[in-house]
Amino acid sequence: MKAYLTRRYLFSASHRLHNPAMSAEQNRSTYGKCNNPHGHGHNYVLEISVSGQVNQATGMVCNLVELDTFVQNAILERYGHENLNMLPEFGHKVPTTENLCMTIYEILQRGFVLAHLERVKLEETMMNSFEYAGEGNRMIS
């Protein structure tokens, strides 16, 4: 039987929203406060949903320890307490939470093979969050 498992993680990072292809004025009008050259930070809440048949022998979709270990090594250690603008993946991409959400989805999609990745949700603050389920995929709710 197919079940969906969701796990939440927390990391803190800083960023600045700025596109060098736009003028200073355009950057300010597009990104507002987020364009402050010194950057600012968030406590991000990352919600990862995976799915699969429940293994009869273990009662699990996938072993949580293995999911936690992968997320810890590939995501939390990479982004936790970092300035996102300094990382190579955001060298030519604005580290909006949309882009970070999609980047995290790609990391999981490539590297975590023990269950089917359904969706990545990233909360930037308690008031706004972003979700990505892959190109063209509809989210199940």
Partner 1 sequence: MVYLTRKAEFSASHYYHNPEFSPEENRRVFGKCNNPNGHGHNYTLEVTVKGEVDPQSGFVVDLKDLKEVLNQEVLDAFDHRFLNKEVPEFLDRIPTTENLAIAVWQRLAPKLKAAQLHRVRVYETPDLFVDFYGEA
Residue choice 59, 88, 91, 136 for contact with partner 1 (CB under 8 A): 59
Judge whether 81 counts as a catalytic residue. yes
Residue choice 17, 61, 71, 108 for contact with partner 1 (CB under 8 A): 61
Annotated catalytic residue, options 25, 92, 124, 135: 124
Annotated catalytic residue, options 34, 82, 89, 116: 34
* Residue 140 binding partner 1, by CB under 8 A: yes
- Closest distance between partner 1 and the C-beta of residue 9, in Å? 8
In Å, how far are 5, 68, 69, 116, 134 from 64, measured between CA atoms?
9, 6, 8, 14, 22
* Residue 5 binding partner 1, by CB under 8 A: yes
- Closest distance between partner 1 and the C-beta of residue 124, in Å? 18
Secondary element (H or E) of residue 28:
helix 24-31
* Residue 58 binding partner 1, by CB under 8 A: yes
Annotated catalytic residue, options 15, 66, 81, 98: 81
Q: What is the CA radius of gyration of the chain?
A: 17
Contact present, 11 and 46 (Cβ < 8 Å): yes
The angle that helices 64-71 and 97-111 make with each other, rounded to 10 degrees, is 130
